[in-house]
Structure 1
Amino acid sequence: MSIRIASIQLNSQTDIEQNLTIIEKAINHAANEGARLVVLPENACLMGRQSELAARFDEVAQRLGKMAKSAKVHLMAGTLPCPTRPDGTPVPNERSRQTSLVFDDTGEQIARYDKIHLFRATVNDSTGNYDESKTFEAGDTLVVAPLHIDGQVVRLGLMICFDVRFATLAQRLRQMGADIISVPAAFTHRTGQAHWQMLLQARALDSQCMVIGSTQGGTHHIGSRTRQTWGHAMIVNATGEIVASTERTECSQMGFEMVMADFDTKAQKQIRENMPIFECFRI
């Protein structure tokens, strides 16, 4: 039996309430189309001004859990800036953790992953230099979350954006039992155009997992600045084949784009048996 997965593309701005309204519409739309797992992009609830959202972390997390419960879906809720570490201690120096939360279809939080690889690059765009370490503290723990969906257990390996550039992370998630890997992202337009599709396909081939790329897309107005993200939400199967893609940067007037694909446990198992790369692994 297959499981329907929805990957959501957003154009989040600096109004948290408006972003949450669009997110709820997207989740409900996905549920109405039969999705059992919905994956949101990085910075789903807010682009820029992360301290504002961090101050509301608990409240917003609870609201996202209620959305999952209401729609009766499992929800990988993109990312939220969390002011505390998993052990409850505050993140020092006025920074936070870039955190992915997973909720089951009762609204219970069942997993948390803190982004390990923080984006640092010089990009030929209006921002120029990016360094997430100024805002965030890196996590240090890999996470694979078991999802109990329609009598099946499907294991979701968690990545965030820049993590997708590190093949070893995808391989370790597979070794930990991952069937699917989620990649909520906010790729710059330049780096996304150059690398987004190739990276998702490469990580799918590295891990022999289905990879769910959920993205920000379009122009984001952050005070007097603007930022361009690449969009192109995409789902890639374990052979590296693109099985769904928005094929565009901008979002529709609804405020979101959505692509869907069916995950078939037996079909993916056959792919792995036909080419047992992890049994051949020697390094």
Structure 2
Amino acid sequence: MNKVLSVAALQMNSQQDIEANLSTIKAGIEEASTQGAQLIVLPENCCSMGRQFATAERFESLSATLASYAREHNVHLLAGSLPCPFRPDGALVPDGRLRQVSQLFAPDGKRVARYDKIHLFTATVADKQGSYNEAATFEPGTQTVVTPIEVAGESYQLGMMVCFDLRFPALAQRLRQAGAELLSAPSAFTYLTGQAHWELLLRARALDSQCLVIGAAQGGEHHYKDGQARQTWGHSAITAFDGTIVDSYESSEMKTEDKHKDYALVFASLDKSAQQQG
């Protein structure tokens, strides 16, 4: 009997309305779980694009809400990322900064892993925002994380990354050396950098690590309360260990027949036997 884990990546267009974003997340989890997904990966900044400090004030309550979704639908939930005011040991992040935190919740709602984004995005991009400096808001994490996903008596080893981490092959290789069989990559690539590199990076990291790579992305235009806007690339995709794209959503925008559906899903299965024989 093959050892297979069914996974899904959720593409969103998160705005600054946290409650609306939570509603989208819940609907996406419900649909993915009804289609058999056992692990569901949300994108970076899933609960809010922008307003990082205000969102961080709700880190505990938002985490509890996401945990309840995992419990309600009996799935493993990789909760994209949330800004967090404290380090893994509970100490406040100094200098008024935050950590960008990705969490894994088990089907019973228990948090089983926390990963703090190591590589922070600092770049000048020829888009509406112009420049990005995550280090002004976030303190980088220092620890790699590989955690087991237990399904039907089988254990699948998940290595955790966030967005800009995809540009660093050594991280994917370290995760593989630590036993990872699949990698989560919740992301919010800018439109221009995503257009240039997103698919290439997913495929390259899969080849580097010989792992399934799950790229759950933000897509579309995000409007901030100060009148500014940011555009993300979307194109959520899941890449097999051999670098092939298993499934992808070929758009930045949400183009569905249901005008009330404001998310997209892509699916794949991790077949441990096939991957090990690879």
Q: Within 5 Å, which residues of 2 pair with 1:176-215? A: 176-215=178-217
Aligned to 1:225: 228
Pairwise CA RMSD: 0.6
1:16 pairs, out of 18, 40, 60, with 18
Could you tell me which runs of 5 or more consecutive residues in structure 2 were left unpaired when the two chains were aligned. Answer: none
1:192 Cα deviation from its structure 2 partner: 0.1
1:62 is the counterpart of 2:64: yes
SS at match of 1:100: strand
Q: Within 5 Å, which residues of 2 pair with 1:82-231? A: 82-223=84-225, 224-231=227-234
1:239 is the counterpart of 2:246: no
Q: What is the TM-score normalised by the length of structure 1?
A: 0.95
Aligned to 1:257: 264
Supply the distance in 2 between the matched residues of 1:140 and 1:165 (Cα, whole angstroms). Answer: 17
Amino acid corresponding to residue 194 of structure 2 in structure 1 = G
How many pairs are equivalent? 271
1:92 Cα deviation from its structure 2 partner: 1.4
1:142 Cα deviation from its structure 2 partner: 0.1
Deviations 1:65-96 (A, max 9, x none): 00000000000000000100001000112211
Amino acid corresponding to residue 249 of structure 2 in structure 1 = T
Supply the distance in 2 between the matched residues of 1:194 and 1:45 (Cα, whole angstroms). Answer: 26
Shifted more, 90-99 versus 199-208: the winner is 90-99
SS at match of 1:148: strand
Supply the distance in 2 between the matched residues of 1:150 and 1:126 (Cα, whole angstroms). Answer: 47
Supply the distance in 1 between the matched residues of 2:5 and 2:149 (Cα, whole angstroms). Answer: 11
Amino acid corresponding to residue 148 of structure 1 in structure 2 = E
Amino acid corresponding to residue 231 of structure 2 in structure 1 = Q
Supply the distance in 1 between the matched residues of 2:115 and 2:82 (Cα, whole angstroms). Answer: 10
1:260 Cα deviation from its structure 2 partner: 0.4
Supply the distance in 2 between the matched residues of 1:29 and 1:53 (Cα, whole angstroms). Answer: 26
Q: What is the TM-score normalised by the length of structure 2?
A: 0.97
Supply the distance in 2 between the matched residues of 1:56 and 1:123 (Cα, whole angstroms). Answer: 30
1:268 is the counterpart of 2:271: no
SS at match of 1:240: coil
Deviations 1:120-157 (A, max 9, x none): 11100001110100110000000001010122100100
Supply the distance in 1 between the matched residues of 2:246 and 2:102 (Cα, whole angstroms). Answer: 24
SS at match of 2:54: helix
What percentage of residue pairs aligned between the two structures are identical?
52
- Structure 1 residue runs of 4+, over 3 Å off? none
Supply the distance in 2 between the matched residues of 1:150 and 1:212 (Cα, whole angstroms). Answer: 21
SS at match of 1:25: helix
Supply the distance in 1 between the matched residues of 2:252 and 2:154 (Cα, whole angstroms). Answer: 34
Deviations 1:33-71 (A, max 9, x none): 000000000000000001111000000000100000000
Aligned to 1:276: none
